[in-house]
Each structure stands twice: as structure tokens, then as C-alpha cells.
Structure 1
Amino acid sequence: MRAKTTRRGLARLACLAFALVLAVGAGLSLAGCKQAEEQLIRAGLTQSLDALKNPSRESLEPYVSQLGQDGVSRLEGYGIDVYDLAAHVLKGFDYQLGDVSVDGDTATAAVHVKGRDLAPALEATWSGFSSGEGMAELVSTYQDGGEVAMAKKLLSRFYENLDASDAQVEGDVTLDLVKGEDGWQPTKDDAQKVADVLFGNIDLSSLESLV
């Protein structure tokens, strides 16, 4: 197995994790009630973001479901527990809700978010398997169990490196909300904004072709 195959495996896992965080970000929804609009938005965002701050199967299930059956099956096909992945990626997530501005049927909400920086852990995982004994270990795993076994090995080592790192990333996000029949909803770009902060300086745009 060449080094390119190893990098492809890491890229695939990274893209799957990225898809999960996008689904989590897209899960921000605000049902209507009789409260003032600004208070309604604050309450809805707090409920949604608290689910990310305190990840559990119960709190994440509505967001994970937005991956769709194909997305979940894709993760499970590689032996990946979607909730375990979410718990690792979202551990340490925190936020501070700032100003909320309402203008008719549109609104903006300023949020400062922070979480784990995944870049050092991904780089450490790649470096550990790129040569020498690490490569031999991964080759043996691949030969014995194929891509599923390799994915489990990569993800297990990624978790170890992630847990050993205290690197964090944070940034400001402005969510753009639109009021519709189901209440206030975020725009499609809002999920990307949240994911961009959570994934720190990882650029996954060039990795999609490897999946």
C-alpha cells in the first residue's frame, strides 16, 4: 500500500467528520412562539448550541439525522460510530452569544465559538503512519482487514492524538436568519461558518476528490 492510500484514508475520514459538523451546524432551527423576536432567537440558538456544548446521543440525534441515511450508512460502513465521532470532534466546544439584530423577516446573530483544533491531531496521525514502523503497521492492518480495518486504525490513532492535544481554535461567526412558516431558520451558509471555525486551519476543499 502506497503512502497515497494512507493519505486518502485520512482525507476520507476528515471529509466524513466535516460532513457531520456541517449537519450539526445546519441543525440550528428556531420554532415560533409568542416571545419577542430577539428573545425567541436567543432562546432557540442557546438550545441548539448547548446541544453541541454538551454532546450526547440524545442531544445530537436530531442533528445527526440531518446527515440522512446515506451519510450515516457511509460512516457505519467504515466501522465509525457517528456519535463517538461527534463526541470527539465537539469535545471542548463552547460559545458566547452576542448581539442579535432583527429587521423584519431577517435577522443576524453574533456568536463567538471555540473548540478543538483538529489540524495537529490529523498531522500527527499522518506523520505517525507515513514511514517506518507506522507504515508497516498500517500496511499489515490493511492487508488483514481492508479499508474498514484501516479506517478504524486511523480513527483510533486520530482520537489518541486528539485527546493528547490541548490545541484550540476560536472565532466570531455572524449567523444570518430568515423567518419562515416554521419560525426562524439559519441560511445554508451558516453551517459552513460554524464548521470553518471548528475545523480551524484545515482546508478540506482539495480532499473531496480523494474520497
Structure 2
Amino acid sequence: MKTHNMIRRACQLALAALIVIGVSVGLSACKNDEQMARDSAEAMFKAFKNPTEESMRPYMSNAKAPIISQIESYNIDVYEFLGHVFRHFDYRIDKVTVTGDTASIEASFNNASLSSAFAAANTDYQSTDTATLAQIYQDGKEAGLEKRLMELFYKRLDEATDLTPTKATIKLTKENGSWKVDDGSVQDFASSMYGSISLSGEVEPASQSQEQPASEAQESASE
């Protein structure tokens, strides 16, 4: 299955949706630049820590509708996804350095490894007997198979005990009185927050990612 691309894309989109949190914090804050930069990062990290629909909705409402729609096009509930992905997430801001209109924030993260969780879930999926997969496909087509894999993925994330410690430096730029995360550092620190999953590379459209599960299930059903 090509669902790894779907999960990676969902991670990218979730980050794009939440990055506005760091942008908005400094707008009304009457503090020195170092404290404003720290507060911006703090607010963003807090939003990721053990997110729930109730706590995240005020922030997600600021996200662009196309981003949320694209996540949902993968049959992924964005709040459920974030809740599982960041169930074990923790952070520490180690150092804040401000030079003019730029700032660097060194942070330490601890979270379940999405790569390890997905690998384990994929093994669980492949170990599922063909009759069960065929029935899932018959009942729900490609979406049913993807839902099954996501359930296994979430289960592996929730049960993770061997968390991955990472470090990253986030660059911020001051624009019109607010501190914004620099696009160039987004991928690096996002990868760290997700337990060092690779967020680079081309991602296939959802329509393509759904073709392989269908053929697999059809083959299973005919055996």
C-alpha cells in the first residue's frame, strides 16, 4: 500500500494548518522581542501537546479551508489524527536568541516515532488474513482498507513506549510586530516533532494512493 505517502502528507498539512498559531501570538503582545519570540513558540508547542478537538478548534478555525479539506480527502479526521500523533508529545525550549528582526529558538522534543509506528502498523496489516481484508474491501472498498490501516497506525502510536528524543532549531522573522516561523526551518522542526519522520519528497495524489489497496483486496478476494 502507498498509505505512507498519505500519512506523510497529512503530517505536512496539519503542520501548515497549525503554523498560524505562532504567527498570531505576537500581534498584541507588548513585550521585548525575546519574550515575544518565546511566547510565539510556546503557544505553538502547547497547541501540539496532547491536542483535543476542544483545545484545537480555536486554532484550526484560522487554518485555510483547502488545507483541512485536503486532509479530510484522505478520510482522516484532523482532530483524531492530531490526538494520536501527539499523544506522547512533549517539548522544552532550551534557548532563544534574537538578532534584529530574526530569532532562533533551540528546542528539545520527545514523541512517538511516526515512522516506527507506521512500519509496525504495516506489518500488522500485512499479517491480517486475506479473508478479512477481502471482507473489508467488499464492505468499504479502498476507503475501508485505508481506515483499517489507520486504525492499526493509531493503535501503535497510542501504545508506543519507546519515545524518540530530538532537537531542532526554529527560525523566526519579525514582520509588522509579530514573529513568524521561517518557511526554511519548518520541515526540519516538523520532522523532529513527529519523531524524525521524513516529510520531504513528492507525495502522490489521493486518487493514486487509493489504487493499490483496491487491487490488493481484489486479488485477495479472488484467491
The answer, yes or no, to whether TM exceeds 0.5 is: yes
Q: Which amino acid aligns with 2:26?
A: A
Kept in 2: contact 1:109–1:175 (CA 8 A) = yes
* 2:171 corresponding residue in structure 1: 176
The CA deviation string for residues 43-63 of structure 1, in whole angstroms up to 9 with x for no partner, is: 222222112124122432355
Residues 178/57 of structure 1: CA separation in 2 closer, same or farther (3 Å cut) = same
| 1:38-187 matches, cutoff 5 A | 38-61=34-57, 63-65=59-61, 68-131=64-127, 133=129, 135-187=130-182
* 2:193 corresponding residue in structure 1: 198
Residues 113/80 of structure 1: CA separation in 2 closer, same or farther (3 Å cut) = same
Matches of 2:67 and 2:151 in 1, distance apart?
20
Matches of 1:106 and 1:201 in 2, distance apart?
25
Residues 131/21 of structure 1: CA separation in 2 closer, same or farther (3 Å cut) = same
Matches of 1:10 and 1:66 in 2, distance apart?
27
Structure 2: gaps (5+ residues): 210-223
Matches of 1:81 and 1:104 in 2, distance apart?
40
Q: CA deviation at 1:94?
A: 1.0
Structure 1: gaps (5+ residues): 1-6
Say which SS state the counterpart of residue 31 (structure 1) adopts: helix
TM-score (norm 2): 0.79
Q: CA deviation at 1:207?
A: 6.3
**Pairing 1:8–2:2 present:** yes
Matches of 1:132 and 1:110 in 2, distance apart?
43
Q: State the identity as a percent.
A: 28
**Between Structure 1 and Structure 2, how many residues are aligned?**
204
Matches of 1:13 and 1:99 in 2, distance apart?
31
The CA deviation string for residues 16-69 of structure 1, in whole angstroms up to 9 with x for no partner, is: 234213433464223143211112222222222112124122432355456532
Q: CA deviation at 1:190?
A: 3.0
Q: CA deviation at 1:149?
A: 1.5
Kept in 1: contact 2:187–2:199 (CA 8 A) = no
Residues 112/20 of structure 1: CA separation in 2 closer, same or farther (3 Å cut) = same
Which of residues 16, 24, 33 in structure 1 aligns to 2:18?
24
Q: Which amino acid aligns with 2:6?
A: R
Say which SS state the counterpart of residue 127 (structure 1) adopts: helix
Kept in 2: contact 1:25–1:190 (CA 8 A) = no
Matches of 1:173 and 1:194 in 2, distance apart?
5
* 1:4 corresponding residue in structure 2: none
Say which SS state the counterpart of residue 64 (structure 2) adopts: helix
Instruction: Kindly report the root-mean-square deviation, in angstroms, between the aligned alpha carbons of the 2 structures.
Output: 2.4
